[in-house]
Amino acid sequence: MKLHSPQFERSLRNKIRREAKDSKTLKRELKAGGRLGGRSPWKAFGRLTLSAGFAFLVWKTLQSGGTTAALALVTLWGLAFFGIVTSRILSNLYGSADAAAFSVLPVGSETIFRWELLRSLRASLWLLLDFFCCYGVCALYIDSAFIWALVVPAAVLNWLMVFALALLAVACQPNRPYILLPLFILGGGFLLLVLGDHINFEIILNILKSVAPALNLVVPTGWVPSLFEGSIQKQLLTCFLLTFLVATTLWSIQPTRKRLLQQYIFPELNPLPGENNGAEAAGYDPDDLVMELDLDRHNVNLAEIEKVIASREFLFSPPMNQSVLERILWKWLNPRERVLFEYLFPDELNLMARWTKVFRNTAIAVALIGITALLSGRGIALWIGVAGLFITLCQSIVLMNWYGRAFEKHAFSGVIIPAYAAHGIGLHEVNRVLTKLAALQIPFFAIYSFIGTAGFFLFVKHPGVELLPTAIKVTGLLLATRCFFLFFAISGGTNDTSRFRVASLVLMGMVVAVTLAFIGIGSVALLATGAPAWISWGIAVNLPWIFLRFYIWCHNRTAFDLMSVPQEF
Amino acid sequence: MKIEFRGVTKSYKSVRALDHLSLEIEPGQIVGLLGPNGAGKTTFIRCISGIAAPDKGAVYMDGQEFRRDRMDLRQRMYLLPDFPFHFFDQTVLRNIAITLRLYNADGEGAENRVLQLLKEFDMLPLALRPVHSLSRGQSYKAALVAMIAIDCDLWLLDEPFASGMDPLGIAAFKRHARAAADRGRTIIYSTQLLDVAERFADRVCVIHRGAIHAFDSLERLRDRATDKSNVLAELFQQLQEART
């Protein structure tokens, strides 16, 4: 689908070139414009390297762990990208930067919907390449003409499956934190690769081999890999069942698309709605808005408004239901920080209620593990434990990294700038408020870490003597990751790494080095005992903090722009 | 507030938005920034507000180098972009209140100032409306009310005369800006409207390809111009001729 005529654009481009031919200045400006609009080859190179790296990992797993384990990697890869594709569809459909353009063009909602959906589909084409590489590697390993013939259909089916699942997620559960899936799967995978030598790669491989058959069947992104394996092993019944499941999921694309289209409200009223996309998310009904706009403004009771202003009521935030935590925080903050806190978190925080929810979910997970272990054995209990801990860990990390509206994005003459920069607030001030908020929650987070570590210890039958020190270490390390999250949140609103220059390369190098050092030293802290472990822990906990301080110092020294410059600038 | 640019250079990839730019803006002046599209006007404003980081050189305010953590300096300026930064789901009053509070300007008497300004800008009937239900001009006026109520030392405005404001709003803005300049406030705005800049600026700064083409009072520019009635149009004509 194209909103323009390529033929017309081509002829226009040729005419412009001809026009600029006689003027050196125009030619130079045209060339510069072309360079600005061009896509960075480094991004493509980076993505290709990722595909190749993953294919290599699959190849190594094929050699040492067999086809099922290798296909389990494809399943996990698909699951991670399911999170990415879902997030992208959500942001394209409900928070697209094209909003301003579409709002003034004679384009219907259906066209906008199709356009944004196709944009998401096109962006996921790299995933198709990943699957081609993976199945190609499998075919190369097995080396049979039949398997080679399966590579293309398997890759295409797998890609479509991910897209179909993403569409279903957008239609049925749009408010889940899908972006955490790739963060944990790819981040965890990277961690295991780095730590492979220290924690014995064989153990990881054995775990993967043991869970691979169940994983490929239970996780929907594993159905195509399972079908591929079933075809290799000529398991007709399995193939038939999986074909049915895959076909049903793919069939759902059309009805889901129609359902989404029917509910589609393009957020043209709010060009950059940030996280609260669309009319519904903004908390108002579009019909009410129309009625409101129809009101005769002169019927408004001006005396009433004057009274509100004169009473100074509007200058103060509406009273909130504060739990004990909020009241403690309020006392802890100084007057300026209170102002910023009200700005960052205009709605009720309900910290107590949120942590209660985390602990409730943890308790449910623990109960389920116990019941399943009694009824079905440790295998399934392990999976329930992993899933339960994953969900509750996500919830607790989200609470510890809650930034309110600090890094919401605002448009400013063709670029996007973070909210705090738009409102004349210092990053160090924001950081102080957010740090106090996180510090207040440390006891809850520590209790959660203790429960999680205890669960892990019970499962692996580790001696309980080390429980408390390990829980303390885990809490410290997880809290230190907050610095990375905060760095990425700040960096997302800047152009610190978007330009190919020495400073950007140095910064990227530092991020990689600090991350690797944190992982390495943190692992030593967890695996070693005695003084070396605690010294490593101290270093690992402080390293990200020192890095973040340095980054904020660079920010304050105006080392980079507080704006992300769009490609088309 | 005195503003100084000392050899400020700023590039976006291969495009040089500001090229070794040096100038001084005295307090109590209204400065109109002019220049062709992409000349560097917005970058000029971004550099003062700390959003853009100069590649070389620095911006000085009252003789002190500006840095992002200099909250004492940042609290003395207010940036109003072409599309104001609002919280769209909040009412006009709430938006004004948030801004006043962030600038510590919601003390005694703030309510009277706000009330007066809302009346002047014909925004009183809309005060309790959420910003998302306003037109662009109304939304700009809401931000302008907050800015005037704060009364910072430095007002930075990007294209205020292309903001969709009605003539009543524009007139009120001009009146308040002039009064503020008389009180020693510095007002810098960008515009493409030559006649507006001719009538509403103590000094005009014409930027072209990141460099200052002219920076002077209109009287002096007029003295140098051949066509005395169309000074700025003549300057632009010169720029176009030099380009082609």
Q: How far apart are alpha carbons A203 and A201 in whole angstroms? A: 5
Cβ contact, residue pair A302, B130, below 8 Å? no
Q: What six digits make up the tokens of A425? A: 């607030």
- For residue A292, pLDDT over 50 is answered with no
Q: How far apart are alpha carbons A316 and A335 in whole angstroms? A: 14
Cβ contact, residue pair A424, B75, below 8 Å? yes
What digits encode the pLDDT tens for the residues B142-191?
999 999 999 999 999 999 998 899 999 999 999 999 999 999 999 999 99
Chain A residues whose CB is inside 8 A of the B75 CB are 424
Q: How far apart are alpha carbons A270 and A280 in whole angstroms? A: 12
Mean pLDDT of A186-211: 72
Q: Is the dihedral of CA A246, A248, A254, A256 positive or negative?
A: negative
Q: How far apart are alpha carbons A192 and A85 in whole angstroms? A: 24
Q: What six digits make up the tokens of B182? A: 């008389």
Whether B123 has its CB under 8 Å from any CB of chain A: the answer is no
Chain A residues whose CB is inside 8 A of the B244 CB are 23, 25-26
Question: Which residues have a Cβ under 8 Å from the Cβ of B187 and sit 6 or more positions away?
Answer: B29, B30, B31, B154, B155, B157, B177, B180, B181
Cβ contact, residue pair B126, A565, below 8 Å? no
- For residue A36, pLDDT over 60 is answered with no
Least confident of A4-8, A27-31, A528-532, A551-555: A27-31
CA A189-A190-A191 angle, 5° bins: 90
pLDDT number for residue A283: 43
Q: How far apart are alpha carbons A118 and A89 in whole angstroms? A: 9
The residue of chain B nearest to residue A301, with distances taken between CA atoms, is B125
Q: How far apart are alpha carbons A495 and A475 in whole angstroms? A: 32
pLDDT number for residue A156: 94
Residue % of chain A over a pLDDT of 70:
86
Chain B residues whose CB is inside 8 A of the A28 CB are none
More confident residue, A345 or A269: A345
Chain B residues whose CB is inside 8 A of the A556 CB are 67-69
pLDDT number for residue A32: 67
pLDDT number for residue A463: 77
Cβ contact, residue pair A410, B158, below 8 Å? no
DSSP run (H or E) holding B19: strand B15-25
- For residue B108, pLDDT over 60 is answered with yes
pLDDT number for residue A270: 40
Q: Most B CBs within 10 Å: which of A268, A300, A432, A558, as the mutation test of the B interface?
A: A558
- For residue A272, pLDDT over 60 is answered with no
Sheet of strand B186-190: strand arrangement: B77-80, B154-158, B186-190, B30-34, B203-208, B211-216
B91, A282 Cβ separation under 8 angstroms: no
- For residue A542, pLDDT over 60 is answered with yes
- For residue A498, pLDDT over 90 is answered with no
Residue % of chain B over a pLDDT of 90:
52
Comparing CA positions, the residue from A327, A338, A356 lying closest to residue A444 is A356
pLDDT number for residue A499: 66
- For residue A339, pLDDT over 80 is answered with yes
Q: How far apart are alpha carbons B191 and A218 in whole angstroms? A: 61
Given phi > 0 = left and psi -120 to 50 = alpha, else beta, which region is A350?
left
Mean pLDDT of B45-60: 92
Whether B47 has its CB under 8 Å from any CB of chain A: the answer is no
pLDDT number for residue A289: 42
Mean pLDDT of A42-57: 87
> Would you list the DSSP string of A508-544?
HHHHHHHHHHHHHHHHHHHHS-HHHHHHHHHHHHHHH
More confident residue, B61 or A5: B61
Mean pLDDT of A504-521: 90
Q: How far apart are alpha carbons A108 and A232 in whole angstroms? A: 47
Cβ contact, residue pair B83, A412, below 8 Å? yes
The residue of chain A nearest to residue B56, with distances taken between CA atoms, is A559
The residue of chain A nearest to residue B152, with distances taken between CA atoms, is A424
Comparing CA positions, the residue from A210, A246, A166, A193 lying closest to residue A58 is A193
Q: What six digits make up the tokens of B176? A: 């308040």
pLDDT number for residue B57: 92
B187, B216 Cβ separation under 8 angstroms: no
- For residue A58, pLDDT over 70 is answered with yes
- For residue A293, pLDDT over 60 is answered with no
- For residue A97, pLDDT over 50 is answered with yes
Mean pLDDT of A320-349: 86
Whether B78 has its CB under 8 Å from any CB of chain A: the answer is yes
- Indicate the SS3 state at residue A409: strand
- Tally of helices (H runs) and strands (E runs) in chain A: 26, 2
Residue % of chain B over a pLDDT of 70:
99
A330, A322 Cβ separation under 8 angstroms: yes
What digits encode the pLDDT tens for the residues B16-35?
889 899 999 999 999 999 98
Chain B residues whose CB is inside 8 A of the A340 CB are 102
pLDDT number for residue A500: 64
**Closest chain A C-alpha to B229 CA, distance in angstroms:** 30
* Option in A25, A346, A559 nearest B243 (CB): A25
Whether A291 has its CB under 8 Å from any CB of chain B: the answer is no
Q: DSSP letter at B36?
A: S
Sheet of strand B56-61: strand arrangement: B15-25, B3-12, B56-61, B64-65
Q: How far apart are alpha carbons B171 and B148 in whole angstroms? A: 14
Mean pLDDT of A111-121: 88
Whether B63 has its CB under 8 Å from any CB of chain A: the answer is no
Cβ contact, residue pair B53, A316, below 8 Å? no
What digits encode the pLDDT tens for the residues A376-404?
666 677 777 777 888 888 889 989 999 98
Whether A283 has its CB under 8 Å from any CB of chain B: the answer is yes
What digits encode the pLDDT tens for the residues A128-157?
999 999 999 999 988 888 888 999 999 999
Mean pLDDT of A501-519: 87
Computed over every residue of chain B, the mean pLDDT equals: 89
Q: How far apart are alpha carbons A445 and A451 in whole angstroms? A: 10
Whether A424 has its CB under 8 Å from any CB of chain B: the answer is yes
Whether A333 has its CB under 8 Å from any CB of chain B: the answer is no
More confident residue, B30 or A459: B30
Whether B109 has its CB under 8 Å from any CB of chain A: the answer is no
Mean pLDDT of A446-457: 86
Cβ contact, residue pair B102, A25, below 8 Å? no
- For residue A514, pLDDT over 80 is answered with yes
Comparing CA positions, the residue from A285, A444, A382, A100 lying closest to residue B82 is A100
The residue of chain B nearest to residue A26, with distances taken between CA atoms, is B244
More confident residue, B44 or A183: B44
More confident residue, B231 or A54: A54
